Amino acid sequence: MEDNLKRLNKFIAETGFCSRREADKLIEEGRVTINGVVPEMGTKVSPYDEVRVDGKLIVEKHEKMIYLAFNKPVGIECTTNLEVRNNIVDYINYPKRIFPIGRLDKASEGLIFMTNDGDIVNKILRARNNHEKEYTVTVNKPITDRFIQRMGNGVPILDTVTKKCKVEQISKYTFKIILTQGLNRQIRRMAEYLGYEVTALKRIRIINISLDVPVGRYRDLTDAEIKELNQLIEPSSKTEEASLPKVESPNKTSGRRTTFISKHDPRFRKRGDN
């Protein structure tokens, strides 16, 4: 029986209803029930339990998961809120419910993953500080060697100093940068600190997937790409999860004691890509 148990947030994510992070919020807000009872964080469920969100029955899916590489145009908002004008979900108009992994600013364009697999969302967001994301960036004045050097060595923004990164000049006004962290509007803030304004920003790679579709178009990730992606994110996501502080909580449905990640942990803080 123990082998069939899943953490509630993982169970909800695997249905494609939302990501694990969003599921944690639903559980915390008391909007989830198991067999009619509001559970605590960290509760585990079996295939025989009845899980509902806002009274709606959640059924575990067994269909093939969707993984898309989308070239987001400038002006599209990376949100699943359909009330927001020019939201990414309406723009793609995919026949099944999907959501973005991470985000790109409205003023930025380029590669973003779309999926209905809440489990991989959770893994990538946990692993985001250990894997590369590559961008091409255009600024408003000529790039100098000093600018390239300072961008690469780290810039003080958002009460921290950015990690060292790879920066390479492409032309008089354009450079390439590879980040291994995802601070909010990081590249724009870094450039601004050095007296530059970003006029165009495009993400051209996430981990092992490179941008290869026209603006506004998407493609399915291949089975080989998905396999490699999972292999790359699995070790770091597990390591990061193991290092997070745990809080013990009684399991209401079974009497067992389980652990869950505290809501005060940095994993629950708002994150943002460039």
What residues are labeled active site?
Answer: 105
Candidates 40, 77, 27; CA nearest to 258 is 40
Sign of CA dihedral 229, 232, 238, 239: negative
Phi, psi dihedrals of residue 7, rounded to the nearest 5°: -60, 140
- Separation of alpha carbons 19 and 99, rounded Å: 9
Q: Per-residue DSSP letters for 79-95?
A: ---TTSTTBHHHHH--S
* Amino acid at site 248: E
Nearest in space to 112 (alpha carbons), one of 150, 148, 76, 82: 76
Contact 121, 13 (CB under 8 A): yes
Helices 118-127 and 223-243, packing angle to 10 deg? 60
Q: 30 with 38: CB under 8 angstroms?
A: yes
